[in-house]
Chains A and B, each alone.
Chain A
Amino acid sequence: MTSLIIRAKELLENKTVQVVIGYEAGPTGVARPAFITDPAKAESLIYDERCVQNLAVYLTKREVKNIGKMAIVATLPVMRSIMMLISEQQLFADNIVVLGISADGKLLDIADNKVMQGYIEKSDLSNPEKYKGLLTEFNKLSPEEKFLYWQKELSKCIKCYACRQACPMCYCTRCTVEVNQPQWIPVKANTHGNMEWHILRAMHLAGRCISCGECGRACPVGIPCHLLTMHLTDQVYNYFKVYAGTSEKMSSVLSTYEPNDKESFII
């Protein structure tokens, strides 16, 4: 994608940024994150249908931040992640250049956060089409069937925490599962503890998940754990008519009380 390469090169050459976070092709042809610091290497940047990872996860990683000011190749989920990170004070808008990519793969001119906000607001923020069918199917199941389904799926979990590590919103330096006083979640991977972990993860992301699907994509044993957070995204929208990652001033739905909040969930 020539326009992206030219823009990346320019940003590095005029020292606007020290690193461009984008995608490159690995030796097996898989697209993977690239961290370009040398303008001469901007040529290796790619953008095509293989580039699906949510790169925003790197914006809070210490060794990446240490390089300096960052530019990031940002599809809609990345832009929404950036908004969330700014609203949760994990990122300063001034420290980042957004190389926006439109749904049809074109480089966008995202001059500042207002422009980005405008772009996000115009976009469809509901869960991605490819998951909607599954979510609908899933909602048809009875509570018992749902429980059995997740029990079977989560028994496969090996607690590698790829779902957490791949998620831009899971930036805590010490995750609840790493706290042992008290031990909220058992260290070992057994069905019961695995369920506790995935419910906890989903609940911590309710109202914060921007529906990128990274957690499910990262899972090495193929657990569709993104369905849990996406389901909650639907629920939050149904109750509060809000999607996460739409503005840098947004406060988290589930940790904010509004007098007119629906309370129909209180039994």
Chain B
Amino acid sequence: MTDFDWLRQRLGSAFGQFLSQAPELARLWGQWFDAVEGQPVPLARLEKPLREARLALVTTGGVHLRAQTPFDMHDSHGDPSYRVIPADTPVDELMITHDYYDHSDAERDLNILFPLELARELAAHGAIGGLGTCYSFMGHIEPPHVETLIRQTAPEVAGMLRQEQIDAVLLTPA
């Protein structure tokens, strides 16, 4: 990593942490985000009742298994890769690598960000038809990695969701 990359990463991290404390500024920043503006928005239909629907969770909060490679915090443009989180993963085997927001509360109770335990409960009680394999990204992704996300890693995850016959996906951000 060059000194310039290091500086960008540090500034990006500080900016992300600052946005956590300054939502109005974050909203202003959001107005500059136009990655897919003007493109049609797809809409699939959920055809079966919830009690029969297999759900999967996808988060962009930087969650991963302790045994997995952490997300890359050295690349100031982010990390478009993903981590596979099996549905039966014990929560104490999970951690968060994401320098761009304050995740101290999520580390106390992961359900506020990645509700794996609650979704397992809903499946056990028959409220949902089941919980499939879940996935995690690190949400701070800038060009050129946005292209990798859209063209490669997100389609890979979508393909696995379809292969596992997942009926619906709940996505949660950082």
The answer to whether A binds B is: no
**Footprint of A on B, CB under 8 Å?**
none
Give the interface of A toward B (CB within 8 A). none
